[in-house]
Structure 1
């Protein structure tokens, strides 16, 4: 059997089986991902490949977990270059290499599943760990994504809180549950919603559909205060191309004709000036209350 070209492999095993020499392994054809774990250098070094490599490196002693597991399941809220998180039992001795973050915690057989040979925490255990360990905003962002992908259901966190009394951080599960929303369609939409809630503004509705007086569909808004006819949207880089820009103009004009105001924010607003977002939204809500529109 030849060395796999589409999967990571254990270098020492390939040498022992006579598939490669040490010199070949150290040549430019193969890329070292973790100690003794290699892959074809032509493969894209994406999150999925790195998770597969991490699973091999663990050698049955743990599993990919946390946000790394969420991304592996399809709910990706990571940024490029984030380390792969793995969880191992407390008695496992492992020195984390570069690119790997090791968490020590109990793992039951019901918490684990092998996907194509890669050990990963189940969606429920993944949500449990994320909600306990991450800062509250990022926990909500990831749980939102998992809800949107239907990896978990609305009461998953509440059931886990009941089933794991006394676990570190378990009290936060109810808070994350209360703040999460399956309607968020991107991590930035979740972060934008959390900025508003954290700024003591009313919780906005997600994915609100606007129709004109005749009932014809006009738009679906990321976030909205329907009673104030105020929409709030996240604008990603894809809105910069000419075709999208022109469609956005027609859409905003149609919303304005229906009496709606839409505030639009970019990533720079979310990360650099969240207080300004709160100020603008609060001002828009107050103007509506004063004018009665």
Structure 2
């Protein structure tokens, strides 16, 4: 059994620059080549225990150690740090760098060279990160259409960005690359969306040529009592559309869902329930079911 050397407290949990740790006398280069440390990026290491628990935030911490002056963590990585999620640990970290800087490529880094005024950069737990507004602007114009809407919805849902402010911000940058995509994304964005899969379900419906449903619609009975809130709805036709995530399988949640579903049916609502499989693997079938419900209720 290999015994790992004693780990300095300063290096136990977070990535660090090898040269800085060596200069501080915390480790030696020979120790860094041993089993206690995991290289992440050029001259960036982390303790093996921390590496096993590493999420995308850990990789952002590692990448930030290589940020040159004037650069910032951006794109989906910044969205992750602002609480939007959307990125797995294995995804490259997006770094936004001034155009004059040309770093060496690395498979764990996605380099975006762009204008980055100081007002577009914030400090988040010590990291230089594009502001929520700049982050939303960047993902809206650079990602594929569906992924861009999902990301913008997530940032809007965190209420650190508002759609009017994002529209105004974009208006002042009309000559930036990707503006046609951004305008399309802003027209589809929905601040009330509560999960990425709800965004995907809404887009699936709209892309099928069906009317855009209302997000997070509150439903009341004839006595004014709140029966529930539908993820998506066509109020005029009394159609509720629900995305059912895995959390709906928990016993207490399942019981609540059954009670709410019965109450909505008693109030004259047709409820359609869809899963990730319906949205991701059978979008055409899902759209047909929504279309059929609309025809029934017209």
Q: Same fold (TM over 0.5)?
A: yes
**Does residue 37 of structure 2 align to residue 30 of structure 1?**
yes
1:176-255 matches, cutoff 5 A: 176-255=185-264
- Of residues 134, 138, 148, the one that matches 2:157 is 148
State the TM-score, normalizing by the size of structure 1. Answer: 0.93
Q: Kindly indicate whether the alpha-carbon contact (under 8 Å) linking 1:66 and 1:126 is maintained by their aligned counterparts in 2.
A: yes
Q: Kindly indicate whether the alpha-carbon contact (under 8 Å) linking 1:148 and 1:185 is maintained by their aligned counterparts in 2.
A: yes
Runs of 4+ in 1 over 4 A off after TM superposition: none
Q: Provide the residue aligned with 2:11 in structure 1.
A: 4
May I ask how many residue pairs the two structures share in their alignment? Answer: 289
CA, structure 1 residues 84+224, in 2 after alignment: closer, same or farther (shift >3 Å)? same
**Distance in structure 1 (CA, Å) of the matches to 2:277 and 2:128:** 36
**Distance in structure 2 (CA, Å) of the matches to 1:140 and 1:217:** 30
**Distance in structure 2 (CA, Å) of the matches to 1:166 and 1:266:** 40
- Of residues 87, 90, 103, the one that matches 1:81 is 90
CA, structure 1 residues 173+235, in 2 after alignment: closer, same or farther (shift >3 Å)? same
Q: Provide the residue aligned with 1:42 in structure 2.
A: 49
Q: Deviations over 1:39-72 (max 9, x none)?
A: 2222220121111111112243521111110111
Per the TM alignment, residue 178 of structure 1 is displaced from its structure 2 partner at its CA by 1.5
Q: Kindly indicate whether the alpha-carbon contact (under 8 Å) linking 1:157 and 1:174 is maintained by their aligned counterparts in 2.
A: no
Q: Kindly indicate whether the alpha-carbon contact (under 8 Å) linking 1:9 and 1:38 is maintained by their aligned counterparts in 2.
A: yes
Per the TM alignment, residue 245 of structure 1 is displaced from its structure 2 partner at its CA by 2.1
Helix, strand or coil at the partner of 1:168: coil
RMSD: 1.7
- Can you give the 5+ residue segments of structure 2 that lack an aligned partner in the other structure? 1-7
Q: Provide the residue aligned with 2:3 in structure 1.
A: none
**Distance in structure 2 (CA, Å) of the matches to 1:87 and 1:246:** 47
- Can you give the 5+ residue segments of structure 1 that lack an aligned partner in the other structure? none
Q: Deviations over 1:90-124 (max 9, x none)?
A: 22121232221111212111111222331111111
Q: Kindly indicate whether the alpha-carbon contact (under 8 Å) linking 2:70 and 2:116 is maintained by their aligned counterparts in 1.
A: no
- Of residues 16, 22, 41, the one that matches 1:15 is 22
Q: Kindly indicate whether the alpha-carbon contact (under 8 Å) linking 1:2 and 1:19 is maintained by their aligned counterparts in 2.
A: no
**Distance in structure 2 (CA, Å) of the matches to 1:179 and 1:186:** 15
